[in-house]
Homo-oligomer: A and B are copies of this chain.
Amino acid sequence: MTISKNAQQSRDLHAFTPDLRDGVYQAILRRRDMRSFLPDPVSPETLGRVLAAASHAPSVGYMQPWDFTIVRNQETRQSLWRHVDQERRAAAAGFEESKREEYLSFKLEGIREAPLNLLVTCDTKKNGPAVVGRNTIREMDVYSVVCAVQNLWLAARAEGLGVGWVSILRNETLREIFKIPDHVIPVAYLCVGWVKEFPEDPLLRAIGWLPYRPMEDIVFSETWGERPSSTEFKDLRSGLKGKLGC
């Protein structure tokens, strides 16, 4: 496909240099959901940078509904850990026997071991009540906060810092422990810390729990469920190199 003169001009003007662009793709490809952490503290300089990265996420109507609670207190973390461990055992029953044992081996020690946890919440009343773009889809504010989490996660990876998202917990328990008011929605509970190593592949992929879903499995054309032609898929794949393609 030949690119038009206007498109070429726009790209020349706005595309990042290869090194900078490579940084973005590498963060995306090398980010991992971490489960083990070194106990060593994270400096406030580094923590401040990843929080600032989060605060520059897109948000519906520029609402910026995010708040970040830094959690270091061990007692708090111990009581949250007890709750998560209970939920984890309860959830195990939902898996086939063949997968149950493996499921129970997945660690959640980051809550206690990591030097810090981050509670990420969405303040649904922030900058409201009339928010540009939130009239029909009420969850847009929560989606904004998730975008902030992903920003934080990618910036952390670039800093060499590990992040793990703990989702086996109940929001009511978070509300109790952290005194979260009703109009605020807990969105993510993160463990943050330095790590021994970032695994080559996501854990659940590496152990064969589930395979990666390639381009051919995730792209539709014009209507949900309709696949593009094989030529179109070949073209879509033509720009992929190395890990990006698989």
Contacts and interface: CB of A to CB of B under 8 A. Distances in A.
Contact of A235 (B1, B21, B44, B235): B44
B232 A44 contact: yes
B150 A224 contact: no
Contact of A28 (B87, B127, B154): B154
A53 B28 CA distance: 7
Contact of A7 (B4, B58, B146, B194): B194
Nearest to A152: B28
A159 B3 CA distance: 14
A230 interface: no
A101 to B, nearest CB: 13
A56 B53 CA distance: 19
B224 A119 contact: yes
Contact of A55 (B21, B196, B218): B218
Interface in A130-155: 130, 132-137, 139-140, 142-143, 146-147, 149-151, 153-155
25 contacts: A1-B43, A3-B41, A10-B38, A10-B40, A11-B159, A11-B161, A11-B194, A14-B160, A15-B158, A28-B56, A45-B235, A45-B239, A46-B239, A51-B236, A52-B245, A55-B212, A62-B209, A64-B218, A66-B218, A99-B130, A132-B209, A136-B168, A136-B169, A137-B171, A150-B150
